[in-house]
Amino acid sequence: MRELKTSLNYVSEHLLTCRKYKGYKMDITKRQMEIVSASIEIIAQQGYEKLTTKNIATRLGVTDASLYRHFNSKHDLIKMILSYFEHVSY
């Protein structure tokens, strides 16, 4: 579990850094970053099947409708997550 938390902290920090990284094509707001991080946590801890807008919203302490202010659809959220992992370099 400790390794998971360390990885998730890395994801959050990396997303913040990437917003400023020249040439990185993923525009992401701070709130979108929080949503992406919460989504990655849910997938890592419970599996993709449990990635629902309700579970994401509960983890963030917001309504699931408020998530749609930041992403037009769950599909767009998944694309953002995949885009993040596509650009991560270790």
pLDDT tens figures, 68-79 = 999 999 899 999
pLDDT of 24:
47
Who contacts 15 (Cβ-Cβ below 8 Å, separation ≥6)?
28, 33, 36, 37, 84
pLDDT tens figures, 18-69 = 544 444 455 678 899 899 999 999 999 999 999 999 999 999 999 989 999 9
| 86 SS3 class | helix
8: pLDDT confidence band, cut at 50, 70 and 90? low
